[in-house]
Structure 1
Amino acid sequence: MDYIEGTNRDQLLLFPESLDEYISDDNPVRFIDAFAESLDLKALGFKHAVLPETGRPPYHPSVMLKLYVYGYLNRIRSSRLLEKESHRNVEAIWLTGKLMPDHKTIPNFRRDNREAIREVCRAFTRFCRELDLFGGELVAIDGSKFKAVNNKGRNFTDRKLRRAMKDIEKKIDAYLDELDENDVIEPDEHKPTAEELKEKIQRLKERMKEYKGLKKEMEETGETQISLTDPDCRSMPLAGGPRTQVGYNVQVSVDEKHKLIVDHEVTNAVTDRDLLSHMAKRAKDLLGVDELEVLADMGYYHGKEVKACLEAGITPYIPKPQ
């Protein structure tokens, strides 16, 4: 008996193996490749779908799309990791034809083709419908909270701004009192100097000015929140307690037949209460049906939304709040 041995790395082959032999017939990357090749990238609006006459040759958008979808399916979100996979992962190498886009090219593709990628999602839904993968009778709708790149301290509501400005006023008054006390304290007592206190007061006044500007902006725009790092995100309550998170509310509708996603939308709605009819109508249109049944949790219960669904030929099933 002997150990199982591999192939000698230095062995020369008269007929070298093809890259295609490493990819099984039922490997999902073959579907990614076939689907991407079936798309009319020009009609979808992809940049460089029409080759420019001058300049440096770009990567074909289908190559970049395949790599992007591959990363999505395998939970590889980082552009640097995707670049690494294109060098070492035989599936990614097969998919791109041994092309290796760098970590700057990959995010540039996403940034330049945001709307086109959304259209690809819709095209995939239509593709699934043509293959009869959707039942088109029952859809479940739910939302998930995704954290944004925005610290809680850089998200403001009207109440939070008023509280912050009130705190600043108290601190300014306290520093002014300290300035008055400096005139009567003993020389050996350790207290902030007048210059130090004036600097602190000036910084607080500048912060107060910033807060007033934010408050004015909220009044002019009618927004209930302002986020400084990621302007579109909002502070949202999390399930199971009083905790909140600054982020997005991602809505998803899933067909009952094969549990495939019919539609998704990233929103900054703080709750799900006003989103039922919107998501249900979108799902109904994408499925191309006249009537549709929809399941949702208690958070979607709103008489106005239920009525809008019924008027659109959609029957919602939602538990009524106690």
Structure 2
Amino acid sequence: MAKYKKYNYSQMIMIPVSLQDQLMPGTLEHAIHEVIEKKVDLSIFDEKYKNDETGAPAHDPKLLLKVVLLAFSRSIIGSRKIERACQENITFMALSCGMAPDHSTLAHFISAMKDEIIHIFRDVLLYCEELNLLGGTHFSLDGCKLPSNASKQWSGTFKELRHKQKKLEEKVKKLISDHEREDKQEGGSDRSKKEKQIKRIERRIKRIDKFLNENKPKKGKTKKELQSNVTDNHSAKMPTAHGVIQGYNAQALVDNKHQIIVHAEAMGNGQDADNLSPMVDRAKENMKAIGRDENYFKDKILTADANYHSKKNIEKCEKERIDAYIPDTLHRKRDERFKEQDRFKDGVNKPPKKRWYTPKRETFSWKEFQYVEEVGKYKCPAGKYLKQMSLKHKSRNKYYRYYQARETDCRECSLKSKCLSKTDSKSRSLLIPIGYRNDNERILSISQRMQQKIDSDKGKDIYSKRLGTIEPVFGNIRFIKKLDRFSFRGKSKVNIQWMLYCMVHNIEKIMNYGFTV
């Protein structure tokens, strides 16, 4: 008969543990310990403590920061979960030297480092620079929209929020009325349950009322009122591939050599086009803070996707002398490499949906009109002349020469159906792009110049590197570190959380590519 050693889970054992031996070289916890201990200056926290003569000693910010960074790297976000890890997990115990800070200390430490977070981020960035992890030639910018600790149900314009408040007040009146009526009857419903429901709705009414009294409506670019949020008014409603969320747009500017993040910031704006300028300006401040020239980004390559394409952003890059590659939304339509991309989409072979509008008739293009240089006019396919009405006509940021046919010439024309796009049009007008008869004289808008740059072989090659630079960063933070939503409220606190995750990413790069014991 087989004989086995007996075991007993109720027994207790004593294990001698060397805290330093638990932080093994080559692990992320060891890298965090070495970087924070030797390369990050946390003396900026000293001014916050007034306990040099009286009061209990505080937890060292270095220990707290190490614990938080390790927790985020292991997808542990809640302060109570971090506290429990410091009590039960030997690695967390080693990193905190067995002090086990409680959840309130950890939560306050994270949310209160509003002014210190950028200095810590820059110290880590400086170490990346010292280890030669920055290429300094090509940078990519992108954003990731994440939900925050706020509900879409508490969003709306001030008019909509007042309407919601009024509806809740009417609901309270109805509940009180029903409650009084049921009290008169025998066997009425539970009194305490109804009272709790009424108090809960009254708290919501007061919450909306307080918000409306303490805040002002948010205005957009067109002066139209934007939706506010009672829970977190710095967050915004943002459309994503998975529907509309209430959250923040987490931006990152990344160097392409080892995907080091040179600046990170959580924006309460879902439009990426509005975020390029502040990201570039603050990245310049970061590079200046670590000893680089304020013109560090001059002549450097910057790639960003079509969401950042705007006249304002391209002008910003030209002003900063940045070699930007920012395509328009139609760049793939012009690229032969993507001409068969539709066949991979679902439903591509399905019959087309019925249009809700009447498409325009196909008519003669301007190229089918002949320019007669002797008279300075265009001749239509029917042989009639169109008179020049404007020498320089602007439409959609492009310049044209404007020509117009006579109504009498078009009225009885046999080619009318092929020339006029609408049945009720009286005459044909013609917009000739300035310079098309001589490409050397063609006037290009700033967007058109960017289109030519992107469509060139060099532009295609450079832009193709964007995907391998920026996407691994968000893949690491979102899917490996599992940051699928922000747990804080308010832009400053959410920004702290986002920058801490970006620091974890940078320290991981230090461990993999530059860290030496």
Q: What is the TM-score when the length of structure 2 is the normalising length? A: 0.47
Letter paired with 1:236: M
| Correspondence 1:253 to 2:253 | yes
User: Which residue does the alignment assign to 1:109?
Assistant: 109
- What is the aligned counterpart of 1:312 among 312, 320, 326? 320
Kindly report which structure 2 residues correspond to 1:94-243, keeping only aligned pairs within 5 A, or say none: 94-157=94-157, 160=160, 164=163, 217-218=216-217, 224-239=226-241, 243=243
1:47 is aligned to 2:48: yes
Is the Cα contact below 8 Å between 1:297 and 1:318 reproduced in 2?
A: yes
- Measured after TM superposition, the shift of residue 134 of structure 1 is 0.9
- The AA in structure 1 aligned to 2:315 is K
Match of 2:66 in 1: 66
Aligned residues: percent identity?
A: 28
Q: Give secondary structure in 1 for the equivalent of 2:252.
A: strand
Q: Deviation per CA, 1:278-313, whole angstroms, max 9, x where unpaired? A: 213333443432432111111110111111111112
CA distance in 2, matches of 1:44, 1:211: 34
- Cα 1:43–1:152 shift into 2, 3 Å: closer
Q: What is the one-letter code of the residue matched to 2:227?
A: Q
Instruction: Return the alpha-carbon distance in structure 2 between the equivalents of residues 110 and 210 of structure 1.
Output: 30
Shift in alpha-carbon separation, 1:123–1:310, aligned structure 2, 3 A: same
**Structure 1: gaps spanning 5 or more residues:** 4-8, 176-202
Residue identity matched to 1:81 = K
| Contact 2:139–2:303 (Cα < 8 Å) also in 1 | yes
Q: Cα 1:137–1:210, aligned 2, differ >3 Å: closer, same or farther?
A: same
Q: Which SS does the other structure have where 2:103 is aligned?
A: coil
What is the distance in 1 between the residues matched to 2:26 and 2:211?
Answer: 61
Runs of 4+ deviating beyond 6 Å: 9-13, 219-222
Q: 1:270-281, aligned counterparts within 5 Å?
A: 270-281=270-281
State the AA in 1 paired with 2:116.
Answer: A
2:21 aligns with 21
Question: Secondary structure in 2 aligned to 1:217?
Answer: coil
**Partner deviation per Cα, 1:239-294 (whole Å, 9 max, x = no partner):** 47xx3211111111111000122211111112111212321333344343243211
RMSD: 3.7
Deviation for aligned residue 1:144: 1.0
Partner of 2:303: 295
Cα deviation for residue 22 of structure 1 reads 3.3
AA aligned to 1:152 is: K
Name the counterpart of 1:321.
329
Q: CA deviation at 1:51?
A: 5.3
The code of the aligned residue for 2:123 comes to A
Distance in 2 separating the partners of 1:269 and 1:11:
55
Match of 1:115, SS?
coil
2:483 corresponds to: none
* Residue 106 of structure 1, CA deviation: 0.7
Structure 1 residues 277 and 112, CA, compared in 2 at 3 Å: closer, same or farther? closer
- Shift of residue 114 of structure 1? 2.6
1:81-101 superposed Cα distances (whole Å, 9 cap, x missing partner): 111111222221111111111
Tell me which amino acid in the other structure corresponds to 2:322.
I
Q: Distance in 2 between matches of 1:68 and 1:116?
A: 15
CA distance in 1, matches of 2:85, 2:218: 48
CA-CA distance at 1:54 after TM superposition: 0.7
- The residue that corresponds to 1:197 in the other structure is none
Cα distance in 2 for partners of 1:52, 1:113 equals 21
**In the alignment, what sits opposite 2:362?**
none
CA–CA separation in structure 2 for the residues paired with 1:212 and 1:148: 19
Q: Deviations over 1:200-254 (max 9, x none)?
A: xxx9xx89x959958x9317997622110112111112247xx321111111111
- 1:79 counterpart = 2:82: no
Distance 2:261 2:284 in 1: 13
Q: Please give the per-residue CA displacement for 1:42-85, whole angstroms capped at 9, x wherever unaligned.
A: 2366734x752211111111111111111122221111111111
Equivalents in 2 of 1:300, 1:127: separation in Å? 30
Contact 1:284 1:291 in 2 (8 A): no
- SS of corresponding position for 1:229: coil
**Secondary structure at 1:20's aligned position in 2?**
helix
The answer to whether the 8 A contact 1:142-1:296 is kept is yes
1:269 equivalent in structure 2: 269
Kindly tell me the number of residue pairs found equivalent between the two proteins: 276
User: Which range moved further: 138-147 or 150-159?
Assistant: 150-159
**Match of 2:498?**
none
Q: Alpha carbons of 1:212 and 1:117: their partners in 2 closer, same or farther (altered >3 Å)?
A: closer
Partners of 2:280 and 2:218 in 1: how far apart? Answer: 32
Instruction: Please identify the structure whose Cα radius of gyration is greater.
Output: 2
Deviation readout 1:171-207 (Å, 9 max, x if unpaired): 9xxx9xxxxxxxxxxxxxxxxxxxxxxxxxxx9xx89
Q: How far apart in 1 are the matches of 2:226 and 2:209?
A: 17
Question: How far apart, in 2, do the equivalents of 1:63 and 1:257 lie?
Answer: 31
Question: Contact (CA 8 Å) 1:280, 1:314: kept in 2 or not?
Answer: no
Sort the Cα spacing of 1:301 and 1:211 in 2 relative to 1 into closer, same or farther, 3 A.
farther
After superposition, the Cα gap between the structure-2 partners of 1:91 and 1:319, relative to the gap in structure 1 and judged at 3 Å, is same
Is the partner of 2:234 in helix, strand or coil?
coil
Contact 1:298 1:320 in 2 (8 A): yes
Contact 2:155/2:161 (8 A) holds in 1: no
Higher mean displacement: 250-259 or 28-37: 28-37
| Residue type of the alignment partner of 2:265 | E
1:149 and 1:234, CA in 2 relative to 1: closer, same or farther beyond 3 A?
same
Counterpart-to-counterpart distance in 2, 1:212 and 1:20: 51
